[in-house]
Amino acid sequence: MIRRMAPSWIALISGIPSASSDVRLIANPPAQVDVAVVAHQDDWQLFMGDVLTQRLRSGNRGVFIYLTAGDDGRDSVYWQTRERAALRSTRIAAGISVNELLACSAVQIRDHSIRKCRLGNTESYFLRLPDGKRDGKGFARYGHRSLRILRSNPSSEMMAIDASATYRGWADLKATVGAITGLDSATVTIHTSDPNIVRNPHDHFDHRMAGLLVADLRKQYRLGAMYYVGYALATRAVNRSSAQTQAKTELLLAYDGEMTAVNKSWSAYQEHRAFYSECLQRTYVVRSPVPAIR
């Protein structure tokens, strides 16, 4: 269903909010948290990397939630490499020294075992649900399961591809992401894919499901959100400065470097060089502020 953009939404051409003219000094302001809810391990770098880099380096805490394993129907060597590649990008985005140790372990969230990695001022959560394929119909290797199918069938279940957890319906997945995020907080801004098919046509179905999950959360809780254009970026006008383009490029190359260290054919950038280059020069985002208390 196509939804019209709410009048209160503000289109951000630059991708980074401008400073307010009404500046107030606040003693010991609460820490700001940026939460990226994405489908795959290279989504945020490509579509929102410059914005998150700026916010993390300004002192905000970062939380990255990866809904799928990004497996592309392949085995564990591939998707585990993607997780390491995502963490390498995270280190670059937050400006974390190579001497800063990475700590990973399984944590229990709403009775679900989820891999959590802590690095500097960031936390990353890997839910490892099956990649849904671009059309949302899933891959045969993992039983054609997908986020699209889970959302369309409330009574369905979906198991992580490493059998670490089973999510009993869309509501269970939504509540789990909410538990990670920290709900009803003016200090939290969620960054995700724009689920609106008018502003963001022809996107990967997993991307759209990530955006819809956030939209569903925001129907219940007071959370600010920033919704980003995905694959349609290549059709928009260039709107990044040289510095912003460089920031996104460094993130993607860090990710790609980890992938190609394992298998030289796993370079997404080399496989789709023209498309990725276009995306690196563009970031289009719509900001939806914290809704009023109902």
Which tens digit of pLDDT belongs to each residue from 250-290?
Answer: 999 999 999 999 999 999 888 889 999 999 999 999 998 87
Q: Model confidence over 132-180: pLDDT tens digits?
A: 999 999 999 999 999 999 999 978 999 999 999 999 999 999 999 999 9
Q: Model confidence over 90-131: pLDDT tens digits?
A: 999 999 999 999 999 999 999 999 999 999 999 999 999 999
Domain boundaries, the chain: 30-288
Q: What is the pTM of this model?
A: 0.89
Task: Please list, in sequence order, all residues whose beta carbon lies within 8 angstroms of the beta carbon of residue 275, skipping any fewer than 6 positions away.
Answer: 234
The pLDDT of residue 292 is: 58
The pLDDT of residue 22 is: 35
Task: Please list, in sequence order, all residues whose beta carbon lies within 8 angstroms of the beta carbon of residue 55, skipping any fewer than 6 positions away.
Answer: 32, 34, 62
Assign domain 30-288 to its CATH architecture: 3-Layer(aba) Sandwich (3.40)
What's the one-letter identity of residue 290? Answer: V
Whether the Cβ atoms of residue 47 and residue 229 lie closer than 8 Å to each other: yes
Average pLDDT taken over every residue of the chain: 89
Residue 1 banded pLDDT, cuts 50, 70, 90: very low
Gap between the Cα atoms of 236 and 253, Å rounded: 23
Count CA atoms closer than 13 A to 15's CA, side-chain side.
26
Which of these ranges, 9-13, 81-85, 133-137, 277-281, has the smallest mean pLDDT?
9-13
Whether the Cβ atoms of residue 65 and residue 181 lie closer than 8 Å to each other: yes
